[in-house]
A and B are shown apart, each in its own frame.
Chain A
Amino acid sequence: MSVEKYLKPEVINQIKRLDLRAQFVVKGFLHGLHASPFHGFSVEFSEHRKYTQGDDLKDIDWQVYAKTDKYYVKKFESETNITGYLVMDLSHSMGYTYRQTLTKFDYGICLAASLAYLMVNQQDPVGLITFNDKIRHSLPPRSKRTQLGNLISLLSNLKPAGVTDFRNSIFQLAAMLKNRSLVMIFSDFLIDEKETMDAVFRLRHSGHDVIMFHILDEAEVSFPFNGVCKMKDPETGDELRVDADGFRSDYVDQIEAFRASLNRQCQKNGIDYVPIDTSMQFDKALLEYLISRRARG
């Protein structure tokens, strides 16, 4: 149980080194998956697959069952290799938090690093793309151990800045990718919905698998403000004077509708959509990745 605490953002915030963060997150996540019976963490363990008739009942992961209501068994050897791209939104809005310990960006890179750690451990090649109004950094995918260090080193030095041009950036990325890959986008998607989906569909049409990690700050989901506030958009600089109390329910409705709309369109086009906010534990995102990974196995 002790390592599971590292799934909590407020705990992981106390660890300054990103590589350690990723390591602790993944360990905490995997420990949770093997809580009972404990089989230990091994390189052999690769991923989960759906339970089929004839599988040993001992291999059923009951933690996963408890979380997903589906039977999964653990696979202990690598069966596939998939190229993964961690696509990180670098825009200024990602550096926002209202009252959480991690900004959206911090949360995103922590999650990205954890996934990178997981993928490298599975010997999957993983690369990193960062963008705001255009692609800013590009680290080609590798499955070597050194890749993790490079990747984490790059992530650690990133600072959110500038405005987002999601469509242009993703179109640029799509042009860059030659092979079928798993593209994991970490963004708050606070841009035009159609523009977002057009870009994602472009990737999807190119044959890539896409996971959209929709990272919002907890305040962006619950709108906890009171009284009259003057809100300022960090990217556009637009300001708006609002009566927060009167706005709350409308805002929450809108943000939910936005997320629901993205989810609906993603499902329709075979895209995994993971809505998360900075107050949530990391395991939800990781699990989603593993499930997606298995689907490609």
Chain B
Amino acid sequence: MTLAHLSVLGLGGVLLAVPVLLHFLMQPKPVVMTFPALRFLQKRSATNQSRMRLRHLLLLLLRCLLIGLVALAFAGLSVASADFGKWLTLGGIGFATVVVGLIAAAAWFRENRNLMLVSVLGLISILLMFFLVHTVMQVFGKDSGGRLIGRSNEPVAAIVLVDNSPTMEYRFENETRFEKAKGIAAWLINQLPIESQVCVAATDHDTPFFSVDTAAAAKRLGKLDIVYQSATIPDTLDRALPLIEKSELQRREVYIFTDLTEKSWTTETSGAALKRLVENDDTSIFLIDVGVKEPNNLSLQPLELNAASIPPRGEIVVSCDVDRLGAETVPSITFQIQANDPSRPVVRDGKTLYPQQMLTQTTLTPTMAPTGPRTATAPLRFSFADDLPEGTYHGSVALNNADGLPGDDRRYFSFEVKSAVPVLIVHGPDALPDALAACISPYESQDDGKSQFDVTTINQFDLQSPEQLDGFDIVYLLDPAPLSLSMWDGLHASVENGNALGIFLGHNALRKGAAEKSFLHPQATEILGGRLTFPFRAPAGDVAFSPDRLTHPIFKMFRKFESSVPWNTNPVYYHWGIERDSTWEKYPTEIPLRFTDREPALLERTIGSGVVMVMLTPISEPSYSTEREVWNDLFVGDNWPIYQLTVDIGKYLLQGDRDSINVPVGQVIALRNDVTHFPETYRAFSPVSEKTPTNISTVNGRISYKFADTPGNYYLQGNYDGIPLQRGFSANLSLRETDLTRVGQDDVDLVLGSGRYQIATDQNAIELQQGTARKGQEFFPLLMLLALVVMGVEHLLSNRFYKG
């Protein structure tokens, strides 16, 4: 219980003396009159005198009570909101006790006109007294649900946490959520007591700190901007809370400005500081919901490219979905690819000018699916093919419709045009290379120059020395027979230098039921990813590929089909077993694919700058053989999953796909940079035209860019032998960052604790709830009402007592 203005109470105390003084000093002079029948008055004079004194006393009491109530009301008597009910009950019972007690006393005083009435009233009075005592003990005997800390005008240690994730850019009623949040937050900071400690925190991964003063806090707030790789509210809060925990200020408040989107509130674990905040009630929490409950939005889903690099006459295909939230809007989408202009970007007058020339620009109006709360259209598909010079190309897909959230209205992509990559396919005895060659470089593609691969096929017997591997970016060993140590060493060196190696083991590695000695050599196990054991046999055809998860890039095309891929139609009768050895600690190794018997089917090992993929069953088996048992039926019948898998392994082994040039915002980009073919240093241009270009250099054969914090096309400009050359990449927002799905109250309760916070949507609500939290629940209206009642009773009684 607190009093906002103690002086008013003091004044009330002084004023209380007024009726008392009037009672004793200013009693009215009685009218003197003759009355012969005085003897009848004398008989009852004692009783009458007592009654008169009682009435005077009652009136005096009522008048004092009236002044006391008014003084208490203006003194700002308040209690913690959680205790308000208890105090109200206490007051109610107390009042009822007094009233019933007075009635009972009056009835008794009037010489017991009705004994039953007096008895019943007395009994009720006693019961009420009992409840009063009980309630008093409850109020004062237990820890209250809430308490008031300090005075209402005391400085505050406050955290003003503003959600600056991309969804806060949602525009509604002519202002973004972020603008609204900043507006309210600025007002809030301005009205905080002047010596308050204020930490303006944001979901931008910055380290929270107390500003020097409220003006500095306001300045920091003004400088906040949307970030495209946001942290969650719970994580940010957890990092900021220790500040106010360590503050010497008694009053602590947390203000969270958020649009209550799921991505900002979903967290797996609560930090220790957040747990303390929920468990202790010494900090007031205000949640300011600036979100829109039913947003309207069209959003472009992440783009899918058929390849990150294409040959000069190859075709780039971009697919995407459009999601619709809320009102029906027919989207209009523009697809564009910029021309490779080495002279752009260029900085003029402090601003970056980007390439303007377009290779293609197409606008489509897709047919939307039937309406619904969240309806996606059929995937959009854009394609482009031309005879392009080698280089990196940038493009974008953009929604032309203006909607609430701009962050998901444009997606960016980059791709490289490269001449066909030289590929060497080495096949062992009885191994058929045709299937692989057809997969990675179809004949028709070779003819029209659209193939990404320039394939050379040789028999293993023709591979005499490691030098023969030079000049090939990718080498495939199809069911290889034992290799010499020098060849293993040569392969190892080739991979280490950044080339790719694909090995498909089969019957040629078998000798007397186990692995041929050549494959157990340490140099071989380093490449193979482990030690071959023996072939697993499954003649019933009940073993096939069975990927655990489709997260690896080689499964990109399978993700849309998920579990409906018919892997079982292509059984594997034999496959090699491999056991993990010490080389796993030396090289990063993973198992992207397993057989249905849970044995590894495909291993990927990174050696140096290159990569090795080892499949433990061959893709070069004949469909039928009279001389031996075939190891699988991978290319028999409906074999599209195997075909697609082989194609995707081929693409993955291609360097371009591994050094992804289409990344999410916030990811560090590390591109291979062979200084024998590319510039050693580059100027990196961000999509933010105000940003100054940065210089980056090649380190360990790679160029790294750490500042891809904005979605868009990034340009790396260099000069090789006097010829301007351009590389680059694109960064896009992840779907999570633009998800407008709102979180439920239960989820917020999980983070902040049920009943521990107050929700406001505007300044007035904050003021009200802030007042309730700081001042507690005020008794002013109740006290004034009570004073009015007391005034009425006093008036009635005085009229009754002093008629005429």
Q: What 1/0 mask marks residues of chain B from 17 to 51 whose CB sits below 8 Å from any chain A CB?
A: 00000000000101111111111111111011101
Q: How far is the CA of A245 from the CA of B52 in the complex (A)?
A: 10
CB-based contact A254/B36 at 8 Å: no
B561 at the interface (CB under 8 A from A): no
CB-based contact B36/A96 at 8 Å: yes
CB-based contact B44/A250 at 8 Å: yes
* Contact A232/B37 with A254-B43, A254-B44 known, Cβ cut-off 8 Å: no
Partner of A227, one of B39, B49, B51, B802: B802
CB-based contact A233/B48 at 8 Å: no
Partner of A243, one of B38, B43, B55: B55
> Nearest Cβ in chain A — how far from B22, in angstroms?
15
Q: How far is the CA of A239 from the CA of B31 in the complex (A)?
A: 12
In this complex, what residue of B is CB-closest to A249?
B110
CB-based contact B41/A251 at 8 Å: yes
Q: How far is the CA of A215 from the CA of B33 in the complex (A)?
A: 20
> Nearest Cβ in chain B — how far from A142, in angstroms?
33
CB-based contact A228/B30 at 8 Å: yes
In this complex, what residue of A is CB-closest to B48?
A247
The count of chain B contact residues (Cβ–Cβ below 8 Å) is 28
CB-based contact B51/A229 at 8 Å: no
> Nearest Cβ in chain B — how far from A47, in angstroms?
35
> Nearest Cβ in chain A — how far from B258, in angstroms?
68
Partner of B36, one of A220, A230, A245: A220
Q: How far is the CA of A227 from the CA of B577 in the complex (A)?
A: 116
Q: How far is the CA of A231 from the CA of B48 in the complex (A)?
A: 13
CB-based contact A227/B41 at 8 Å: no
A93 at the interface (CB under 8 A from B): yes
A225 at the interface (CB under 8 A from B): yes
Q: How far is the CA of A234 from the CA of B802 in the complex (A)?
A: 26
A291 at the interface (CB under 8 A from B): no
CB-based contact A216/B37 at 8 Å: yes
Chain A residues, CB < 8 A from B628? none
In this complex, what residue of A is CB-closest to B37?
A220
> Nearest Cβ in chain A — how far from B35, in angstroms?
4
- How many pairs of A and B residues are in contact by the CB < 8 Å rule? 101
The count of chain A contact residues (Cβ–Cβ below 8 Å) is 35
Central interface residue in A98, A190, A246, by most chain B CB within 10 Å: A246
> Nearest Cβ in chain B — how far from A35, in angstroms?
37
Q: How far is the CA of A47 from the CA of B170 in the complex (A)?
A: 115
Which residues of chain B from 784 to 804 have any CB-CB distance to chain A below 8 Å in the complex? 800-804
A242 at the interface (CB under 8 A from B): yes
CB-based contact A229/B48 at 8 Å: no
> Nearest Cβ in chain B — how far from A275, in angstroms?
13
Q: What 1/0 mask marks residues of chain A from 184 to 228 whose CB sits below 8 Å from any chain B CB?
A: 000010100000000000000000000000001101100001111
In this complex, what residue of A is CB-closest to B39?
A190
Which residues of chain A from 225 to 270 have any CB-CB distance to chain B below 8 Å in the complex? 225-236, 238-243, 245-247, 250-251, 254-255, 258
Chain B residues, CB < 8 A from A225? 33
Q: How far is the CA of A188 from the CA of B36 in the complex (A)?
A: 9
Partner of A231, one of B41, B43, B49, B803: B41
Q: How far is the CA of A235 from the CA of B40 in the complex (A)?
A: 14
Chain A residues, CB < 8 A from B803? 226-227, 245
CB-based contact B36/A234 at 8 Å: yes
Chain A residues, CB < 8 A from B49? 241
CB-based contact B48/A242 at 8 Å: yes
In this complex, what residue of A is CB-closest to B40?
A254
CB-based contact A243/B37 at 8 Å: no
Q: 11 more A-B contacts (CB under 8 A) besides A243-B51, A246-B48, A246-B51? A: A96-B34, A188-B36, A226-B802, A227-B28, A228-B31, A231-B38, A240-B38, A240-B42, A245-B800, A250-B44, A254-B43
Q: Could you pull out 6 A-B pairs where Cβ atoms are within 8 angstroms?
A: A190-B37, A231-B34, A238-B42, A242-B41, A243-B51, A254-B43
Residues of B within 8 A of A (CB): 28, 30-45, 47-49, 51-52, 55, 800-804
Pairs of residues from A and B, 9 with the lowest C-beta to C-beta distance, nearest first: A226-B804, A93-B36, A243-B52, A233-B38, A231-B35, A228-B30, A230-B30, A230-B32, A254-B40
